[in-house]
Structure 1
Amino acid sequence: MADSPSAPAFRRLGPDRAGSPVLLSVPHAGRDYSDSLIKAARVPLARLEMLEDRLVDRLVWRAVEAGSVAVVAEAPRAEIDLNRDERELDPGMVVPRPHASTILESPRTRGGLGLVPARMSGAGPIWRDRIPAADIARRIARIHRPYHAALSEELVALRERFGIAILLDCHSMPPRTDGSQAQIVLGDRHGSSIAADLVAAAEGAVREAGFSVARNAPYAGGHITAQHGRPQAGIHALQLEIDRSLYLGPDLRAPGPGFDRVSALIAAIVEALAAQARAPASVAAE
């Protein structure tokens, strides 16, 4: 992100008045690396970029063109992870060390991928020094909270207009060549963040497009899905994970031959969710 304190934390894409009850979130594709962030890292920029969900922000254009709104992070995941609780932080990387009562320990923080990523597989510690607590607080106040506030505001507006709102939180995942992972993984927090008929509609769209799909394995949905998915209040949330080899080239950095097909897939999932939400017998609409 830019060093200016006024730099935006996210972009809003799409019409002023949404044409679909489905809101897209892209929290991990930000590429606005500040000079200070790059200098603070003990690994090169190319390594920091490996934390990104590379170019997922460019995959949502078809869904946006069809009338959906998208909220897209500008800040890189290396600076702050918008799919983590703001308390989900490795206390050992902060100075002064935070009190234990302010920390939410999780497998992600223990693995080095908390609110601010601390370690990367094959590279070790990311940062040269511990990060001042005041800087962590600034990132939370200027990036994390505004992003989640924007999602909440958009979802409430969609529910008021359509009677229902659906958040599709878009991510990408490292490919596995051993065939142990489906090409597309849908996470519904094990049935708690979205109505079952909506997930079934999304799965149907994925299969119809010719991709393999799994639910909650190995990704069941993170903080965004848990925070914003409130089916009992008419607001649903589903995490979408896409195998990067489907849309990126062999280097997993530049667009590959499947880029447009995956963009069309996202648009098809959005349309399937919206159509199911409009269905008279939809559980989601009850």
Structure 2
Amino acid sequence: MTHSAEEQPPPFEIVEPAAWRAPIIFNSPHSGSVYPDEFLKASRIDLAGLRRSEDSFMDELIADLSGRGFPTVSVNFPRSYVDVNREPYELDPRMFSGRLPSFANTRSMRVAGGLGTIPRVVGDGQEIYGERIAVDDALTRIEQLYKPYHRALRRLINKAHRAFGTVIVVDCHSMPSVGVSREEPRRPDVVIGDRYGTSCAPVLADTVEETMSRLGYTVGRNKPYAGGFITEHYGNPASGLHTVQLELNRAVYMDERSRARGERFAQVARDFAVLADVLAALPLDGLEPFASAAE
């Protein structure tokens, strides 16, 4: 959707509960669907094509959790415009007119794939821009959107960490039901990413897997998604900072062609609430720094 300047929603929204039930934050960084007009003009792909990169409705699936005692974070700008699940300056020099700053990471795997902080392609590999964009435009997006989001998320994480001694970020994403490669096996309903055991205590990923399996979902781990920058950057179990990424198969809750909510939409939202309740019931002392290492 597009909005006029007067009714532009904020770049991201944090909804904190009146009272926190547990130090668990549900984050949706890729569900944004507010497309700036100048971005649509610069894109050689139509809006429907750009929207294929969205984790559609993920913000809605977690929206009720704030009323149950869990803060929620959602981004309103689209990931095809700025991707907050990247390092601040993963930038592809081929996209820009002008010189990138020397500190830009121009050689990451994500940049090579066209999916840097300012993406070159949408999820299915189509090029977004008809011509190069100004370096200053990219840096402005990072200053005005990317950095404020991460500052706010960091503040929220620190607040929970101070109050509870530990914090769990559940980073909520959705994935296409089929991969780009034909060789890839059929995707499960849910993929849990914990950076191969490094971004959260093992009990957390195990609990998510057991709970979602019990609710009837097929579950995979770390393939094809082990977690992006958010999982890696905010996950530091030795300091009591735990991050787990959830990738939900879009075919479970929506029609991928028409981008309409599916029959199971309300049930999936209820299942997220069940998962939140189960995680909230975990004893926090089991997540203490080095608890798992000491056993």
Aligned pair count reads 284
Q: 2-side partners of 1:66 and 1:253: how far apart?
A: 28
**Counterpart in 2 of 1:32?**
34
**Counterpart in 2 of 1:67?**
69
Mapping of residues 27-176 of structure 1, within 5 Å:
27-98=29-100, 101-120=103-122, 124-176=126-178
* Pair 1:128–1:3, CA change in 2 (3 A): farther
**Residue of structure 2 aligned with 1:10, choices 12, 30, 34:** 12
Instruction: Give the TM-score normalised by structure 2.
Output: 0.89
- Counterpart secondary structure, 2:247: strand
Give 1:63 shift: 2.1
Q: 2-side partners of 1:121 and 1:213: how far apart?
A: 22
Q: 2-side partners of 1:257 and 1:92: how far apart?
A: 43
Amino acid paired to 2:127: P
Give 1:163 shift: 2.0
Tell me whether 1:261 sits opposite 2:263 in the alignment. no
**Residue of structure 2 aligned with 1:222, choices 215, 224, 228:** 228
Q: 1-side partners of 2:123 and 2:241: how far apart?
A: 36
Amino acid paired to 1:116: I
For structure 2, list consecutive stretches of 5 or more residues without a partner in the other structure.
none
* Pair 1:38–1:162, CA change in 2 (3 A): same
* Pair 1:3–1:232, CA change in 2 (3 A): farther
Give 1:114 shift: 1.2
Q: 2-side partners of 1:123 and 1:149: how far apart?
A: 30
Instruction: Give the TM-score normalised by structure 1.
Output: 0.92
Q: Please say if residues 84 and 117 of structure 2, whose CA atoms lie closer than 8 Å, have aligned partners that are also in contact.
A: yes
Q: Deviations over 1:48-74 (max 9, x none)?
A: 111100111100023222111111001
**Counterpart in 2 of 1:21?**
23
Q: Deviations over 1:28-63 (max 9, x none)?
A: 111111111110101101111111001111000232
**Counterpart in 2 of 1:180?**
186
Runs of 4 or more, structure 1, over 3 Å off, are 1-7, 120-124, 283-286
Tell me whether 1:274 sits opposite 2:276 in the alignment. no
- Counterpart secondary structure, 1:36: helix
- Counterpart secondary structure, 2:267: helix
Give 1:129 shift: 1.8
Q: 1-side partners of 2:125 and 2:167: how far apart?
A: 40
Give 1:217 shift: 0.8
Q: 2-side partners of 1:163 and 1:151: how far apart?
A: 17
Amino acid paired to 1:197: V
Identity among equivalent pairs (%): 34
Q: 1-side partners of 2:68 and 2:54: how far apart?
A: 26
Q: 2-side partners of 1:124 and 1:234: how far apart?
A: 40
Amino acid paired to 1:193: S
Give 1:4 shift: 5.2
Q: 2-side partners of 1:154 and 1:73: how far apart?
A: 15
Q: Please say if residues 9 and 76 of structure 2, whose CA atoms lie closer than 8 Å, have aligned partners that are also in contact.
A: no
Give 1:17 shift: 4.0
* Pair 1:283–1:120, CA change in 2 (3 A): closer
Amino acid paired to 1:18: W
- Counterpart secondary structure, 1:241: strand
Amino acid paired to 1:85: E
- Counterpart secondary structure, 2:173: strand
Give 1:261 shift: 1.8
- Counterpart secondary structure, 2:170: strand
